[in-house]
Copies of this chain bind each other. A is one copy, B any other.
Amino acid sequence: MNVSTQFLASPNVVLLEKDADLRPLASVDSKALTKEKTLELSAQIAEFQNVLYAQQKHKLLIILQGMDTSGKDGTVRIVFGASNPAGIRSVSFKAPTAQELAHDFLWRIHQQVPAAGELVIFNRSHYEDVLITQVLDWISADEVKRRYTHINAFESMLAETGTTILKFFLHISKDEQKERLQERLNDPHKHWKFDPKDLIERASWDKYRDAYQATICATHTEHAPWHIIPANSKTQRNLIIASIVVEKLASLNLGYPAPHPDYLKIKVE
């Protein structure tokens, strides 16, 4: 069984705290070995990406979602850190600006989707517009459902027009978040990563988990599947995501564009 299938969500997924702690790829329980494998996969992603870029045909969209401290930034840095900046773009969606709020919620997202030959990572995404909005009751249950429908239609359009979409939920437990937040607070060098709002959101942990669960169930489609990544272990998380991305890139049968036989006759003066 390939790694992707192993972590694929199901239409009725249940997010259990204990699952965040799984270390399923730790057949040999060595952190060093896991890191080494991830480094190899990261280099493979960079190689595939060079062909993707040359071919200017496929578009790859990676969506990272997860609670605060779940490791979205770390995933970008480690899994995609070896890639050529020319063909990769990481987009971080913050609280929307006034201008963005004056448009539909997919407006700013659509502007950032990958062009042909690009690999784009969304660090947070349009999914925030059905998560925090749902938890804080900013939108009605009916509006949530309408947005699910819009999201599925939007992603289906992207897929039909040549975009490969991989969605990852980085699954950490409430205890793990506690440790990671405390670590940030105890280390003055990490204070820039801390936002007092994180504690307010943490207080709504169960509501967020339920919202994630409902959202994943409603938007897990064949053309834009969710993967649930046990993320209490950072090294396991990176290895799993890197494996799934490599599997997907390999399945695209990427190749350099066809040569021009007439070019072989040209002599440069």
**A192 touching B268, Cβ below 8 Å:** no
Contact yes or no, B185 A268, CB < 8 A: yes
A207-240 CB contact bits vs B (8 Å, 1 = yes)? 0000000000000000000000000000000000
Query: A267: CB under 8 A from chain B?
Result: yes
| Contact string against B for A residues 180-194, beta-carbon threshold 8 Å, 1 for contact and 0 otherwise | 011001101101111
* Binary B-proximity of A190-202 (CB < 8 A = 1, otherwise 0): 0111100001001
Residue in B closest to A84 when the chains form the complex, CB atoms: B77
* Residue of chain B at shortest CB distance from A194: B263
Contacts of A80 on B, CB cut-off 8 Å? 85
A113 at the interface (CB under 8 A from B): no
**Given contact pairs A73-B86, A76-B85, A189-B259, a sample of 13 additional A-B residue pairs in the complex whose CB atoms are under 8 Å apart:** A46-B81, A76-B84, A76-B86, A77-B84, A85-B85, A89-B89, A185-B264, A188-B263, A188-B264, A189-B256, A191-B257, A191-B258, A192-B256
Q: Which residues of B contact A89 (CB under 8 A)?
A: 85, 89
Return A192 CB to nearest CB of chain B, in Å.
4
